[in-house]
Amino acid sequence: MKFKVSKDDCIAEAKRFFKYYYRFCQSPDSDDLRELLASAYSANDKLRKAGMGNFFESEEFLAIKAIRNFFIHQAELLNETKSLPVISEVPISGETNIVCLVPVERFKLIKEASNEAANESLDKTMVFYRDFVDIYPCIFNFGVKFYFFIKDLDFNLDTEEVLNLENSLEFERENGYSHYIKGGISLPLGGCVDEFISKNLISMDERKLMMEAFYEEKNGMYTFKMGI
């Protein structure tokens, strides 16, 4: 008898995805990224086999699938997670403070190992700099799309990670913000963004210390500490 994937199987995989998605959005190290990519691929496979749809029309998913295939079957991504300075003497503009940077030469290898459709998706969903490619916006946006996809399927995901995501989405709705990001860093007063990335980004450990010193966290949202 042919085994059929159940809704419970899909829910279990969705919970796993959002566990690693939450970690990725906070501080994506290579191991968490690998697990997240694998879970995205597995979730799509389970949903397809359960007859609940798939993400093959999603540019973000096709890009993630290409990165996952390279990461799992060929070589390490050599990705680095960095943060914009919490406090900077130079004005900075960016939708998110976190970047997940893959060396551009390594990214070229991903494209060489991928088909034409995947390459088009990679070009459309990543942020390109001189020396690096930022894969953070692509994965961030896929997580949001995945959330709305499973909400339409009436999945009950009451995990801490999903509740934090829902709090963020509700805050964005109330304040008229988009749920999706384009990514990219700019320097409003001018200057070379590529040099800024090479010299001025900080580690996630540095970011954590600075955030704890200057901000208060509640339900996944940060506000500046009063009196500082």
pLDDT of 73-131, one tens digit each? 988 888 998 999 988 888 999 888 899 999 999 999 999 999 999 999 999 999 999 99
For the segment 12-42, what is each residue's pLDDT rounded down to a tens digit? 999 999 999 999 988 767 889 999 999 999 9
Residue 2 maps to a domain: no
The whole-angstrom separation of Cα 155 and Cα 165 is 15
Per-residue confidence (pLDDT) for residue 225, from 0 to 100? 62
Per-residue confidence (pLDDT) for residue 4, from 0 to 100? 85
Q: Which residue has the tokens 């961030």?
A: 140
For the segment 45-55, what is each residue's pLDDT rounded down to a tens digit? 999 999 999 99
Residue 84 maps to a domain: yes
For the segment 168-220, what is each residue's pLDDT rounded down to a tens digit? 999 999 999 999 999 999 999 999 999 999 999 988 888 878 777 766 766 55
H/E segment holding residue 15: helix 7-26
Residue 180 maps to a domain: yes
Per-residue confidence (pLDDT) for residue 203, from 0 to 100? 87
Residue 1 maps to a domain: no
Q: Is 203 left (phi over 0), alpha (psi -120 to 50) or beta?
A: beta
For the segment 145-174, what is each residue's pLDDT rounded down to a tens digit? 999 999 999 998 999 999 999 999 999 999
Residue 160 maps to a domain: yes
Per-residue confidence (pLDDT) for residue 55, from 0 to 100? 98
Domain range for 110 is 7-224
Residue 19 maps to a domain: yes
Q: Which residues pair with 81 in a beta bridge?
A: 100
Cβ(193)–Cβ(187) below 8 Å: yes
Per-residue confidence (pLDDT) for residue 68, from 0 to 100? 97
Number of domains in the chain: 1
Q: What are phi and psi of 77, to 5 degrees?
A: -80, -25
- Cβ-based neighbours of 155, under 8 Å, separated by 6 or more: 7, 10, 11, 14
